[in-house]
Chains A and B, each alone.
Chain A
Amino acid sequence: MKNGKLVRITAIFFALMLCFTILSRAADQLSVAVVKTERPQNQMIEHVVKASGRVVQNQELAVTTLPDQRVTAIYVREGQRVAKGDLLFEVDTTLLEEKILDQQQEMEKQELLVKDAKSQKEVSAQQRANSQAQAAEQYSLSTRQAGVQLSRAKQQLDEAKKKLKKFRKSAESGKSSGSEKKDSEVEDALLQALQEKTDAYVAAQGELRALEWEIENAVYMAKQDAMAGTTAGTTSGMTAGAVQGATSGTGSGDAAEATLTMEEKTFTGSAEDVDEAGTSTDTGEGAEVTPQEVDEGDAEIVPETVCEDETFADDAIVDSISALPGDEIDLDLEIESVSSESTDEQGMGDGSTGDLGVNVSGGIDLGGNDGEETDTDAGIGNVADSDLDVSGSPVGSDLNANIKDAGDLYAGELIVDDVQDAVLPRMPTPEELTQIEQTVRANYSGQLAEAQQKLSDAQAEKEAAEAALVKYQQEQLAADNSENAQTAQQLAEAVKAAQQLYEDAALAANEAAVTSGRAVATANIADPSNSSDRMNEITYEQMELTLEKLEGLKKAKGKVCAEADGLITKINVMTGEKTLDTTALLMADLSKGYRFTADITKEQQKYIGTGDLVSLSSGDGKQKLEELPVESVAADESDENIYHVTVQLPEDSFAIGATVNLDFSRKSEAYSVTVPLSALHLDSKQQPYVLVAEEYDSIMGTEQRARRMNVTVLEQNERYAALAEGAIGSETEIIVQSDKAVDDGSRVRVET
């Protein structure tokens, strides 16, 4: 190979190498990112809040008019400014006049209703006073009767005693005095003791009666309370009222029936009681007594006799009922007053009252019918059955059952059904009533037992005294001759009979006092409240008010005017249509000022607060207001990322509805290391970092590359971020811009 050729090849080779050197360098520079660096600045972070909002009124005024008026003309449109007193719209005056006339007529009617209600109330008050007086009268009458009877019995007893003494004296005159005189003294002492015991017995009996009445009264009151608590609704209230009215009638058939049920349990049945009842009927007492006795006889005796001895039952019932016809006049009288009273109390008066009245009279008929049907076994059996049922059930439902039974027997089926329907709903559950009754009774059981014990003790003592007297007298008789003895025995028996009569009279007097007293108490129970008259009055007053308004509108010739300066925001009425109950017009009250409201984000909300001074500028930028305080910043109710800013505006600043821009900036403290936000990067783990340009030694000479530095962001706005001091100092060149993606270690070229 020639040397020249080799030299040429060498030269070409080096030339090529030179070319490739240039080419490779050019290619290399293409891949290097050109970056801009900045040094961290010492500055404050400024948070700028910009928002666009609208101007709205502070207060809205609602313009209303009376409903159902025809609108003849509307003089404003939405968005129009009106001054105080400006005509807004007009309503038809003809229609208005008609309305006024209507209203006046209605008011007249209402006035009449008020008058009616008032007079009705007065009448019912009078009736009540009447019945109270009647009860009081009845009370004095029966006690007086009992007193007369008692004094008569006493007189008879005294006479019998006198006769006996006289006889004794005449007998004594024939004998030596000595021991005989002593005997007479002994007998006197015995008689005296018997008298005392009898008095004690009568007193005990009276106490027991009084206590029993007290218990029954307490039970009745407790039940009334329970029913008053549970009853609701007009129908049940009405029935309750009716029943109450019925039961409160003094000495009426109702009362008789009520007592009938109430007394059933109190009579601890014995044959003696029946006897007593028999005696008391003689006195011709009130209605209360008689049903009791009927009841008593039935309850206590019939169960046995129906099965065993019908004749005895017959006798008992005949005995007890025989007195009834004599009392019927009284009863009838009272029935009338009851039925009228209950009608009054129910005010409007519906069928049930009548039913009840009928039923009550049916109940009274019981007495009369009993009197007629005493000889028919079937009738008695029925009565007995029905009464037995009654005595077995609680008092509250007793009344009901009793009414029903009575109806079954003596009134029509139809009426019975009605009554049942009307009466039943007022009841609380029977279990509840039973429980109430049991509680009350349990409270009194001790006292009752004590009184009963006392009574039986008194009776025993009385019987012992009687026995002693009888024994003494028989001894005396044995000592006397047979003729005298017979006379003496007769006289002694007469005394004894008189004694018994006296006792019975005393008991009857007691009972009459208790029963009549009870009737008086019942009559004194206040009427149920009735406020229909006041209610009617109120309705009238309301009508009056409406009329006033109507007349006011008429006076204004049907014209509705603005009450204040404002801006019409909404019109709800239409020409030709009738006005509704709702607002006719809505207007912004300009006298109350207006405010600016805008929505900001949750992020912005951090930097703006109540009292911050903001500047507002109109959408076109022509108008600008500085340093207005923020009135409130409140979260939106539905979207938690939205907050509402409100700023009160001075008068005549912006128009309502105008779009206004809000500007506010808040400066933070000064940070020594702040970098543009473009320099801040986040890795996949959300760790913030910056890239700094770093010189390094390479084959190509001194080159620059990016190096990653993790940082802590203290605060940032949309342009700058404040970083914690540390790795980054004020001299660090931080890459803030790059023409290519730059990563940790990327070669970069810093543009100067």
Chain B
Amino acid sequence: MTKKFVRGITYLPLILLAGVICFPMLFAATGVFMQQWELEDYLAPVLAGADGMASWPLLPHAPTLRSLVELLLDSPQFFVMFWNSLKISLCILIGQTVFGVPAAWGLARFEFPGKQAVLLLYIVLMLMPFQVLMLPQYLVLDRFRLLDTHAAVILPAVFSTFPVFIMYRFFCGIPEAILEAARIDGAGHLQIFFRIGIPLGAAGIVSSGILGFLESWNMIEQPMTFLKTKSLWPLSLFLPEIGLAEVGLGFAAAFMMLVPALLLFLSGQEYLEQGIAAAALKE
């Protein structure tokens, strides 16, 4: 009893905290089913400069699917951006896999001069925010005449250091004995990489893939900077286009944007946890 009580006491702040953390989710979920006028009433103090404070009910007064229907049936622009986002994200994911996995394998499994320096450079680059890299990237992309194309967003992300670093950690975790055994069995470098390295480092690859997808799905500065043509814009730029008059549409869009990320997260949750743990276990 006392034990239960103590546990209850312990859970209470946690539940409250979880509630606070979950509130934006609730916010987004209820907003989808609200009428436009209701949303305007609640958000006017924030978005339209009306007096008072913004408020938010737990349940909508007049639940409706109008915003969702409007988004799905009357807003072809949304879908243009949705598919743009998906395209960018998948390309980045594939690129990262194609280039990042061998890079991480090489760094983890081969000894060569300057290896430590390269690793250090990777870490430094990984820590650098986009704002720092923006100008050099822009100049390079301009030189390559890649500006205002999806490649301008995709290519820099493909060669991002973060997934390499995460996968490096996983590949490092593969015991040397297994590789020795493979070599003894007559496996070459490629055979070891494909038959031993990738399966054993799959968790790292998946988690880096999920993290990379989420990052590219939510990417906002790069398309804003490098894409001028509106038809190339990803979904992350849809919301800034929306004002108070279309706030319902905004909620619906946000909701729809959440769905792929959520599905991906749920399917890769296990690997993701491992990956995050792996990243945390730095040398």
Contact = CB atoms under 8 A, between A and B. Distances in A.
Interface string A674-701: 0000000000000000000000011111
Interface string A5-27: 01101100110010011011101
B123 to A, nearest CB: 33
Contact of A699 (B73, B74, B81, B260): B81
Contacts of B103: none
B80 A699 contact: yes
17 contacts: A9-B263, A10-B260, A13-B259, A17-B79, A20-B79, A21-B79, A21-B82, A23-B73, A24-B76, A25-B76, A697-B229, A697-B230, A698-B77, A699-B80, A700-B77, A700-B80, A701-B231
Given A21-B79, A23-B73, A700-B80, 19 more contacts: A6-B266, A10-B263, A13-B263, A14-B260, A17-B256, A20-B72, A20-B73, A21-B82, A21-B83, A28-B76, A697-B229, A697-B230, A698-B77, A698-B230, A698-B231, A699-B230, A699-B231, A699-B233, A700-B231
A682 B238 CA distance: 37
B217 interface: no
Contacts of A699: 77, 80-81, 230-231, 233, 238, 241
A626 B75 CA distance: 63
A23 B76 CA distance: 8
B55 interface: no
A20 B256 CA distance: 12
A16 to B, nearest CB: 8
A329 interface: no
The 4 closest A-B CB pairs, nearest first, are: A21-B79, A699-B77, A701-B231, A6-B267
Nearest to B82: A17
Nearest to B264: A10
B165 interface: no
Q: State the majority secondary structure of interface residues on B.
A: helix
Nearest to B263: A10
A526 interface: no
A1 interface: yes
A28 B73 CA distance: 8
B263 A27 contact: no
A80 interface: no
A24 B82 CA distance: 13
Contacts of B79: 17, 20-21, 24-25
A17 to B, nearest CB: 6
B78 interface: yes
A10 B256 CA distance: 12
Interface in A110-141: none
Given A6-B267, A697-B229, A697-B231, A27 B74 contact: yes
Interface string B257-273: 00110011011000000
Nearest to A698: B230
A176 interface: no
Contacts of A6: 263, 266-267
A3 interface: yes
B152 to A, nearest CB: 17
B73 A27 contact: yes
A27 B71 CA distance: 12
A256 to B, nearest CB: 124
Nearest to B86: A14
Given A9-B263, A10-B267, A23 B72 contact: yes
Contacts of B83: 21
Nearest to B266: A6
A9 B73 CA distance: 21
A407 B257 CA distance: 139
B260 A24 contact: no
Interface residues of A, number: 22
Interface in A1-55: 1, 3, 6-7, 9-10, 13-14, 17, 20-21, 23-25, 27-28
B76 to A, nearest CB: 4
A7 to B, nearest CB: 7
Interface of A: 1, 3, 6-7, 9-10, 13-14, 17, 20-21, 23-25, 27-28, 697-702
A10 B260 CA distance: 7
Nearest to B77: A699
A702 B72 CA distance: 21
A666 to B, nearest CB: 52
B267 A24 contact: no
A688 B171 CA distance: 74
B246 to A, nearest CB: 13
A17 B229 CA distance: 23
Nearest to B259: A13
A33 B1 CA distance: 73
B230 A24 contact: no
A24 B72 contact: yes
Given A697-B229, A697-B230, A699-B231, A24 B266 contact: no
Contacts of A17: 79, 82, 256
B76 A700 contact: yes
B272 to A, nearest CB: 13
Contacts of B74: 24, 27-28
A20 B69 CA distance: 10
Nearest to A28: B76
A617 B24 CA distance: 84
Nearest to A25: B76
Contacts of A10: 260, 263-264, 267
A27 B238 CA distance: 20
A1 B83 CA distance: 27
Contacts of B259: 13
A1 B231 contact: no
A21 B256 CA distance: 13
B73 A3 contact: no
A700 B233 CA distance: 10
A24 B78 contact: yes
Contact of A21 (B76, B231, B241, B267): B76
Contacts of A698: 77, 230-231
B82 A7 contact: no
Nearest to B270: A3
Contacts of B233: 699
Interface string B216-256: 00000000000001110100001001000000000000001
Given A13-B259, A697-B231, A701-B231, A3 B72 contact: no
Contacts of B263: 6, 9-10, 13
B25 to A, nearest CB: 18
A3 B229 CA distance: 38
Nearest to A7: B267
Nearest to B84: A699
Contacts of B86: 14
A39 B74 CA distance: 33
Contacts of A697: 229-231
Contacts of A14: 86, 260
